[in-house]
Structure 1
């Protein structure tokens, strides 16, 4: 994550972090009061695609943006958390081209204005930063805004949007149980809170029948026209391409640029959401979007960079911020598919925070990973001690050892494989915070 004093906006946000409580306090009262003081910018947005879910919401956001930009539309995008710089949370659309992260002076000015409007009243920093989203998106014209939920849905600060063009609910699994509940149907009810009466809803692939049932019941109760993955639309791989099908027909499309079989379902949800929103998009734009999509820190390959140089020669290095058991399953499946095509020993370099099910995450890699090296999360009070995390990995049946840094882990891997003829495959992940530090240290931040 970004050092405190590297940018003007970063310094302004650090001031707020010193004044206001960290973490989440789920409510819409404070954000509503603040937005009212700012002139209700959330009511002056372009059509909004509002995205919630435990896993996959970042990918569907990336696919939607890529497709819409390929269609020539200007697209604002709000995501969280950021990986390296605060500016990544705010991508401002450009007509006929690729949007760009907000500039430092513009972001710093927006943060100051929102803080001034708050007048020192009790609020969380996430709520202030969400108000910044609405202010920026209202003051810079665009054709569409994609807004990703921060946590949950019903009481998330983004949920002041009154009438989205479409609400998208991606796969739901157990995560953030302290805030959202300890059963998947309770979490689904929180995520379903972004649905608005009569507004279209797209339900992504759900592994859990209980979650799907809650989402469908909520959509029906609110008279929302809804579509469900696997029932009303779907996607599958055929001859190295992606076939998308819904009630209107099918598209024969290139396979998504983002790796992993799960990305077919994520891409399908994006296509269906754009269709449901009524935004003008052609099959050609969908093709171009699938071929050009980027999503930093999620199964992202690191072919070059300062850390890449530390790894054994010809290593294949991947980073991914997935941090719960469901994410572990799809990441491990992707690694196994890589192994089928190009056999290499797989090593994990993992750091996690203490709100996550580390054993559940590691369990997905049993029989796949050669060894795990656990590392601290730099600058986080919530990081799991590497020795404890290594114990969690061993509980899941993996061979593991704690080290002090990612670079030390890469050097240790080098010593293990120096006698082998096959260069390793290395997955660095378990936390978006760790991935952000790795991208910064490697000299390859998101752009």
Structure 2
């Protein structure tokens, strides 16, 4: 009998625990023990937490390491088009046969015991990473840090905390210090930690934990600086100054993410700084240049971004503000767990209209009517549309050369990437 495909096995994993999110490490530790503790047989780990910028920072570090000829594993979530995107083995996305075999191993080892989808799939990733040689493993936190399924690494080579802001309050706490304490839970005794730009109250939490753990800190604005100057990126730390091209990923916030990635490479003493700036990462102000959506609006400039919280809205606003002037229209779909007003408010000065859509197939989607109403309350011109394609056609019928940004959710971005090929 042939082995079931990964889609079937992933669906089976969804049934093993009634809650999608249930933060604890007990179930992880039990299954990892049953699998022979693969988390103890990994390459040096770079562990990343934060509210925004984890994926981009990870992609830049990977580009810098691979540019120096190193083999790099990477774990990230959520995926956009296919689950396989979450597990990268020595530079290549995991193949279907390998993924199916790993998932089957984890289901067999777990038996009928409760375990969440993310925990089970993280165990599968750990198993994969332990079986394939590499020089480094980039490990991105799923949610929070202290009780996240990835936080089973006793002694990583380095931890990184990207900017922390309010998000997932129902799981992490309703204040910035509480959320930061959860994120800072990945810090380990005497393990260096690179810290991206933070609010003062967040940084105070990180610094207090670093003191307790005797963990060396490399903090933005203190041990390192990174900024744009005359179309170049300038990085400086105690070891000197680097003058580099701007990151390929657009937006002022990506300069700061690149700075954190550069500081990580400098702490580790490895990597190619210039290769780091050439990193790509989908759905982070990604320009769509081909596919059905582009064909439907050949004179438009179409962008895609998965940011979904107030900090993400601020980052998009800064990016739009730095772009050449062009009438800009949003096509927006969001989840009902997000602060939609906080996300949209920074965007108001930069956009001409918003077309609201629901996210098909997502139980937690905000109805288009709710998104439209929220946008109207911020002062935007807002309409409801049945789909992204319908919204795009309506926008370019009125303004053929518009800039169109599809935004509001990684789940919407994933659907767009799947449908656009």
TM-score band, normalised by shorter chain: over 0.9
Task: Please list every run of 5 or more consecutive structure 1 residues that lacks an aligned counterpart in the other structure.
Answer: 1-6, 94-98
User: What does 1:323-362 correspond to in 2, within 5 Å?
Assistant: 323-338=308-323, 341=324, 343-362=325-344
- State the alpha-carbon separation in 1 of the partners of residues 8 and 265 from structure 2: 37
- Could you tell me how far 1:187 is from its partner in structure 2? 0.3
1:271 maps onto 2:268 in alignment: no
Which one of 27, 30, 33 corresponds to residue 33 of structure 1? 30
- State the alpha-carbon separation in 2 of the partners of residues 72 and 46 from structure 1: 16
Which deviations, in whole Å up to 9, do the C-alpha atoms of 1:307-356 show, x marking residues without a partner?
22122x32111100000011101111111211xx2x21100000000110
Which deviations, in whole Å up to 9, do the C-alpha atoms of 1:27-49 show, x marking residues without a partner?
00000000000000001000000
- Note the aligned Cα RMSD (angstroms): 1.1
What SS class does the counterpart of residue 54 from structure 1 fall into? coil
User: What does 1:151-170 correspond to in 2, within 5 Å?
Assistant: 151-170=143-162
1:78 maps onto 2:75 in alignment: yes
- State the alpha-carbon separation in 2 of the partners of residues 157 and 252 from structure 1: 38
1:101 maps onto 2:86 in alignment: no
What SS class does the counterpart of residue 352 from structure 1 fall into? coil
- State the alpha-carbon separation in 2 of the partners of residues 396 and 181 from structure 1: 26
- State the alpha-carbon separation in 1 of the partners of residues 246 and 363 from structure 2: 40
Residues 193 and 217, structure 2, Cα contact 8 Å, conserved in 1: yes
Which one of 86, 91, 96 corresponds to residue 88 of structure 2? 91
What SS class does the counterpart of residue 136 from structure 1 fall into? helix
Which deviations, in whole Å up to 9, do the C-alpha atoms of 1:225-252 show, x marking residues without a partner?
1111011101111221111100111111
- Could you tell me how far 1:279 is from its partner in structure 2? 4.5
1:286 maps onto 2:303 in alignment: no
Instruction: Give the match for residue 10 of structure 2.
Output: 13
TM-score, scaled to structure 1: 0.92
**Aligned length in residues:** 418
Consecutive aligned runs of 4 or more in structure 1 exceeding 2 Å deviation: 18-22, 278-281
Instruction: Give the match for residue 209 of structure 1.
Output: 200
1:262 maps onto 2:253 in alignment: yes
- State the alpha-carbon separation in 2 of the partners of residues 217 and 22 from structure 1: 33
- Could you tell me how far 1:274 is from its partner in structure 2? 2.1
What SS class does the counterpart of residue 367 from structure 1 fall into? helix
Which deviations, in whole Å up to 9, do the C-alpha atoms of 1:190-242 show, x marking residues without a partner?
00000011111111111x11001111111111100111101110111122111
Which one of 95, 105, 114 corresponds to residue 122 of structure 1? 114
Instruction: Give the match for residue 355 of structure 2.
Output: 373
TM-score, scaled to structure 2: 0.98
